[in-house]
Amino acid sequence: MSLSPLGLILGLLMGAGLLTIVVSFTPAPATSTAATRPPGLLSRRLQDARGRITRRQRIALAVAAAAGLVIAITTGWVVAIPALPAAVWILPKVLFPPKAADVEVLQALGEWTRRLASLFQSGQYLTDVLAASQRSCPPAIAPQVDALVSRLQARQPAPLALYAFADDIGDETGDMIAATLIRGSTADEAALATILNDLAAMVATEVRIRRQIITAQAGPRNEARSITLVMAAVMVYVLVGTPYGTWYGTPIGQVALLIQLAAFGACLSWLHSIATPTPSPRFLVRPERYRDPTGVRS
């Protein structure tokens, strides 16, 4: 197919727009002067997007945009410019969903909490119990528990170390365990052991519920994967092996193909959203006196 001037102009314009988007996702260099004006809504959304996109994803998007631009210039298929970055962004999430590591961490927290309860029943103090639990800590939370014990050994106050532990876990269940230990640091050891046993039983129930949710969400995820593979094969066949491919190479056909791809991508994103668990919001907030590393009010 010959390259038309309209296709070249559209390709260059769309390539410049995508390049601007990719550049906007790149973190801005830090400046020494403080901002005098609070960030607007668009700036906050861009900052949130930068935080969600990893460096590898930025590189993949830039490479896909460049490949789409080359395809558009050499073949006239302008639709490749937005289609390739969108495919790089959406397809890995649909075809290769992340592992449910949060369930493993949650189960490890339940086992660790039950271990803490048994240690408290022997009459040990909080710092001694946490240090003793390090030896039998489940591997899924071993780095967080090691960091907790290291903070305690560095003479950090126990509440400050536990707030940092909850931040390392980053889950509502971790907040509950840390809050129980913070409030129970001055309580009777036997009473605290009973509370931790009850909390461990509640965590076990939460693990069972989350596993059931993951099993239920596996159905839509498998459907999305199958639909994606079938539709990709059908689309390649239609564009390459049938006369419709010639019509889709025209400017009107390019617009129609772009609309179809956008609708298909929106459906995949919707299927991915309903098949992805939403994390529970955290509730543990540090008091002002524990905001700085020394534990002293600034």
pLDDT of 55 reads 78
Question: Averaged over 154-175, what is the pLDDT?
Answer: 87
| Tokens representing residue 251 in the block | 């400017």
Q: Examine the pLDDT at 108 and tell me if it is beyond 60.
A: yes
Residue 229 tokens, joined = 């593979």
Mean of the per-residue pLDDT values of the chain: 76
Are 197 and 210 a contacting pair, CB within 8 Å?
A: no
Residue 249 neighbours by CB distance under 10 Å: 19
Instruction: Output the CA torsion sign for 177, 180, 185, 190.
Output: negative
Model pLDDT for residues 179-223, shown as the tens digit of each residue: 888 877 655 666 778 888 888 898 888 888 888 877 777 777 777
Residue 281 — pLDDT band, cuts 50, 70, 90?
A: confident
pLDDT tens-digit readout, 75-104: 778 888 888 888 888 878 777 766 655 788
In this predicted model, what pLDDT tens digit does every residue of 11-63 receive, in sequence order?
555 655 555 555 545 554 444 444 445 555 555 555 555 556 777 878 888 88
Which tokens go with 127?
A: 């710092």
pTM: 0.60
- Listed in sequence order, the DSSP H helices in 184-288 are 189-241, 244-248, 251-274
> How many residues in total does the chain contain?
298
* Confidence bin at 146 (pLDDT 50/70/90): very high
Can you give the pLDDT at residue 101?
56
Q: What is the CA radius of gyration of the chain?
A: 27
Task: Indicate the domain borders of the chain.
Answer: 101-211
Identify which has the larger pLDDT, 266 or 18.
266
**Angle in degrees, CA 54, 57, 61, rounded to 5:** 140
pLDDT at 210: 81
Q: Is the dihedral of CA 37, 42, 46, 52 positive or negative?
A: positive
